[in-house]
């Protein structure tokens, strides 16, 4: 197990290096930030001074090496636009995104899996058909549209929830969180609901497909022949047997939502990293783009590693193959 | 003779498929005494497994028990509510399936699976449950049972896995175990071991068994009574030795003649020509008609079950016996 983790960490370092090259070259290939940094009527002298100050006159490989060396010192550079350390900027936004994403993905899973199991267990019942109808809805309706509908219905018309922004936060471990205050929760509700609808639909379908398949196996028949109750069969046998694909999708969704909750964050003016990256692309704020993409890659690697470790706990066959 | 344990009477299980009604089990009747081992033989699709599942009330939709009764010590299991049936399953009648690699849950330790089977019927402490599990595992021949409770199915060989499944079936000391081809998926050498062991266990525990198989030689080494099924119907039954020596139904005779033991070297193996008819839309005629060499106009009507002493046969023209 430990060997496996160490092996994966070495892999992760290699992947991060490759990603850094790709991101650096990719980002530097698009546009010239100097036009954004100085006013159009600046003199040639100021222009050249600025270029030199940001190291933009150096060849690409030199710029990359400098970037890598600074990186090893934990320095991602300063944002051109905000004129503050990039890391500080991203971490000031990250808790908002993490909070939103975790609420959405966890909520979708906690609600979607049991409903999906039910829909797979009794596919002919009316409730099962309703659940499946809802999941088709969640799959096919675009996020931005449902977001606007949510705002219109629950914020504008009914006035139950705020229409946007993050609202009050409370501090835990030195980080500001909304979910710790009642009012903050109200601000969190609509964007999280908006973000979770698609994931909910996916979890329902995944759990339903797995349950339908598992219910036909001899494992379930044998458990029934032993007199075990249907509840025991669903919670102890079926849930365990369908958990591997669910954990896989959970990990993937968590990663991609953390990185790309852009649409929801924009509609609800949620001050997360998704909004930050869109803004920085618009202003060609290279250090922010690079650091953000590196961070996303890192998050994906960490999530995948966690998922792989969870597999080993869920499926004993993997455990013994490794040792 | 000991007391009657199970009486199956006129059991019919049909599957309402899109193409019509599939009569998987059609008017099957037999009686099983306490501690008795009865063999249920027939080729694939003859309805022997469905008969087993029907007794436990475990027929999956679109299958349905349409008529008949299954009386366990006088109580009819058909028409019982699900909760009532659940107290019967595993505690009074349990079942062992063909392939242990699919019946055991691959992600739960065998200890967990055994405790679940135990907890389905009685509340016992963890210690008492473990003691019971270890005891039964020892009885079915799992060495070092106490340590193996935490093992998972994939850590056992095929034969050992089937022993674990048998242990789970025995756990609540049922009066009857339905064995649905429990040795078919195993190596031949292991088959013989398991066969012998199950026979011994049945004697020790006083458990009756219904041994379902397509393999006449396997069944005849465990069972005292034999039931031959064909196309969903029971076509012949009787004491094993008697039935094998003097088969009365042309189908049984054909089966026995096609055993490799009966073949002469250099001669092709004997077969019954043709194949079993589709169970959908079975007509009024005898189901064996198209394959039978003894048929005549009488066989256009399905024969009734005739009995004579301990023997029963469903044929207008039995090959042997006194059926006046």
pLDDT above 70 for A322? no
The label of the residue with tokens 């063999």 reads B39
- Greatest mean pLDDT among A2-6, A36-40, B276-280: B276-280
Residues A155-178, mean pLDDT to the nearest whole number: 74
d(CA B45, CA B279): 8
Q: Which chain B residues are within 8 Å of A217, Cβ to Cβ?
A: 102
pTM over 0.90: no
Return the minimum-mean-pLDDT range out of A23-37, A71-85, A109-123, B118-132. A23-37
Which residue is listed with tokens 């019954």?
A: B272
- DSSP structure class, residue A154: I
Q: Is the CB of A228 less than 8 angstroms away from the CB of B90?
A: yes
Q: How confident is the model at residue B1 (pLDDT cuts 50, 70, 90)?
A: low
The answer to whether residue B257 scores a pLDDT higher than 90 is no
* Mean pLDDT of the B76-81 span: 88
pLDDT tens per residue, range B191-207: 888 888 888 888 888 89
Query: A226 and B86 in contact by Cβ < 8 A?
Result: no
Query: Span B245-265, mean pLDDT?
Result: 83
A141: burial class by Cβ within 10 Å (0-12, 13-18, 19+)? middle
Distance, CA of B278 to CA of B232 (rounded, Å): 10
Please enumerate in sequence order all residues whose Cβ is within 8 A of that of A216, keeping only pairs 6 or more positions apart, or say none. Answer: B60
pLDDT single digits (tens) A69-91 = 888 887 777 777 787 888 888 88
Q: Phi and psi (nearest 5°) for B148?
A: -85, -5
Q: What pLDDT score does B324 carry?
A: 64
- Alpha-carbon distance of B232 to A10, in angstroms, equals 62
Q: What is the pLDDT of residues B6-16, one digit of tens each?
A: 999 889 999 99
Mean pLDDT of the residues in chain B: 87
pLDDT given for residue B114 in this prediction: 92
B224 versus A58: the higher-pLDDT residue is B224
H or E stretch at B180: strand B176-180
Q: At what angle do helices A126-140 and A86-121 cross, to 10 degrees?
A: 150
Q: Give pLDDT, residue B201.
A: 86
Q: Which of the four pLDDT bands, split at 50, 70 and 90, describes residue A170?
A: low
| pLDDT for the residue numbered A321 | 60
For residue A225, list chain B residues with Cβ-Cβ distance below 8 A.
Answer: 56, 58, 89-90, 94-95, 97
Q: Which residues of B touch A236 (CB under 8 A)?
A: 108, 112, 116
Mean pLDDT of A99-115: 91
Predicted pLDDT at B38: 93
CB contact under 8 A, B89 and A227: yes
* B103, A218 Cβ separation under 8 angstroms: yes
Q: The tokens of A233 are what?
A: 């069969």
Comparison of pLDDT for A316 and A236, the residue scoring more: A236
| Nearest chain A residue to B178, by CA | A225
Question: Which pLDDT belongs to residue B221?
Answer: 85
Share of chain A above pLDDT 90, in %: 14
Which A residues in the span 153-172 are in contact with B, Cβ-Cβ below 8 Å? Answer: none
Mean pLDDT of the region A162-184: 72
Dig out the tokens for A71 from the structure. 């990186």
For the segment A221-230, the average pLDDT, to the nearest whole number, is 90
Could you tell me which residues come within 8 angstroms of residue B206 by beta carbon, excluding any fewer than 6 positions away? B34, B35
* pLDDT reported for residue B199: 87
Per CB-CB distance under 8 Å, the chain B contacts of A229 are 86, 120
**B103 inside 8 A of chain A by CB:** yes
Q: Using an 8 Å Cβ cutoff, are B10 and B29 in contact? A: yes
Is the Cβ of A227 closer than 8 Å to some Cβ of chain B?
A: yes
Chain A nearest-CA residue for B174: A226
* pLDDT of A204 over the 90 cut: yes
C-alpha R_g of chain A: 24
> If DSSP codes are grouped into helix, strand and coil, which group holds residue A243?
helix
Residue of B155 and A32 predicted with greater confidence: B155
Q: Please tell me the predicted confidence (pLDDT) of residue A323.
A: 46
pLDDT of residue A174 exceeding 70, the answer is no
What distance lies between CA B199 and its chain's CA centroid?
Answer: 14
Q: Which of B87, B116, B172 sits opposite A236 (nearest CB)?
A: B116
Residue showing tokens 């009966």: B262
What is the C-alpha separation between A118 and A114, in angstroms, rounded? 6
CA separation for the pair A118, B153 (Å, rounded) = 28
What confidence score (pLDDT) does residue A31 get? Answer: 66
Candidates B88, B103, B133, B155, partner chain A, best to mutate (most A CBs within 10 A): B103
Q: Is 80 exceeded by the pLDDT of residue A177?
A: no
Distances (CA, A) of A85 to A75, A90, A92, A288: 8, 9, 11, 9
Model confidence at A239, pLDDT cuts 50, 70, 90, reads: very high
Region A248-270: mean pLDDT is 84
3-state SS class at A311: helix
Q: What average pLDDT does chain A have? A: 83
Contact between B102 and A218 using a beta-carbon 8 Å cutoff:
yes
Nearest CA distance, A233 vs chain B (angstrom):
9
Taking CB atoms and an 8 Å cutoff, what residues of chain B touch A223?
105, 116-117
Q: In this complex, do A227 and B155 lie within 8 Å of one another by their Cβ atoms?
A: no
Say which residues have a Cβ less than 8 Å from residue B112's Cβ, sequence separation at least 6: A236
The partner residue sitting opposite B117, judged by closest CB among A228, A314, A316, is A228
Chain B residue with minimum CA distance to A242:
B107
Determine the Cα–Cα distance for residues A51 and B297; give it in Å rounded to an integer.
Answer: 106
**How far A213 CA sits from the closest chain B CA (Å)?**
13
């Amino acid at each position: 197990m430990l060997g496996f983790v160490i092996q994966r960490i070495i892999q992760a370092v290699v992947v991060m290096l490759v990603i850094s090259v790709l991101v650096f070259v990719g980002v530097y290939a698009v546009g010239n930030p100097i036009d954004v940094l100085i006013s159009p009527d600046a003199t040639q002298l100021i222009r050249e001074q600025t270029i030199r100050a940001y190291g933009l006159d150096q060849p690409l490989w030199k710029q990359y090496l400098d970037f890598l060396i600074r990186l090893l010192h934990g320095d991602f550079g300063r944002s051109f636009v905000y004129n503050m350390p990039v890391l500080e900027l991203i971490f000031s936004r990250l808790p908002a995104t993490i909070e939103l994403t975790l609420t959405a993905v966890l909520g979708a899973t906690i609600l979607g899996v049991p409903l999906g199991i039910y829909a797979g267990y009794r596919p002919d019942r009316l409730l099962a058909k309703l659940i499946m109808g809802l999941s088709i809805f969640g799959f096919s309706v675009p996020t931005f549209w449902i977001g606007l509908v949510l705002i219109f219905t629950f914020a504008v018309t009914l006035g139950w929830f705020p229409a946007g922004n993050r609202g009050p936060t409370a501090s835990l471990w030195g980080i500001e969180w909304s979910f710790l205050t009642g009012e903050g929760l109200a601000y969190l509700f609509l964007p999280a609901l908006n973000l979770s609808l698609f994931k909910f639909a996916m979890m329902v379908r995944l759990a339903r497909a797995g349950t339908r398949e598992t219910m036909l196996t001899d494992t379930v028949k044998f458990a029934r022949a032993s007199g075990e109750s249907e509840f025991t069969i669903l919670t102890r046998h079926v849930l365990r047997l369908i958990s591997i694909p669910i954990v896989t999708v959970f990990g993937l969704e968590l990663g991609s939502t953390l990185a790309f909750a852009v649409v929801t964050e924009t509609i609800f003016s949620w001050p997360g990293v998704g909004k930050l990256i869109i803004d920085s692309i618009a202003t060609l704020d290279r250090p922010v783009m690079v650091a953000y993409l590196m961070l996303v890659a890192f998050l994906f690697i960490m999530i995948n590693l966690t998922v792989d470790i969870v597999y080993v706990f869920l499926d004993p066959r993997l455990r013994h193959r490794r040792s | 003779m000991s007391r009657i344990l199970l009486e199956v009477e006129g059991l019919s299980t049909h599957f309402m498929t899109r193409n019509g009604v599939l009569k998987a089990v059609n008017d099957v009747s037999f009686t099983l005494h306490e501690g008795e081992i009865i063999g249920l033989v027939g080729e694939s699709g003859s309805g022997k497994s469905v008969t087993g599942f029907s007794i436990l009330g475990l027929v999956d939709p679109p299958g349905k028990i349409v008529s008949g009764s299954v009386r366990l010590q006088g109580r009819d299991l058909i028409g019982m509510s699900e909760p009532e049936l659940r107290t019967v399953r595993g505690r009074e009648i349990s079942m062992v399936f063909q392939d242990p690699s699919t019946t055991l849950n691959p992600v739960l330790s065998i200890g967990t699976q055994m405790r679940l089977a135990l907890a389905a019927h009685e509340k016992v402490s963890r210690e008492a449950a473990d003691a019971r599990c270890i005891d039964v595992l020892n009885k079915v021949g799992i060495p070092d049972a106490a340590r193996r409770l935490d093992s998972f199915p994939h850590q056992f060989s095929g034969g050992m896995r089937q022993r674990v499944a048998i242990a789970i079936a025995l756990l609540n000391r049922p009066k009857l175990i339905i064995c649905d081809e429990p040795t078919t998926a195993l190596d031949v050498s292991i088959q013989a071991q398991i066969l012998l062991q199950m026979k011994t266990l049945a004697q020790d525990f006083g458990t009756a068994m219904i041994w379902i198989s397509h393999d006449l030689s396997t069944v005849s080494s465990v069972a005292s009574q034999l039931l031959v099924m064909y196309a969903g119907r029971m076509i012949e039954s009787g004491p094993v030795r008697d039935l094998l020596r003097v088969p009365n139904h042309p189908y049984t005779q054909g089966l026995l003649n096609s055993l490799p033991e009966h073949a002469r070297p250099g001669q092709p193996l004997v077969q019954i020509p043709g194949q079993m008819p589709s169970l959908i839309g079975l007509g009024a005629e005898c189901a064996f008609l198209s394959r039978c060499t003894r048929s005549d106009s009488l066989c256009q009507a399905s024969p009734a079950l005739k009995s004579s002493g301990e023997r029963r046969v469903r044929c207008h023209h039995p090959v042997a016996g006194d059926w006046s």
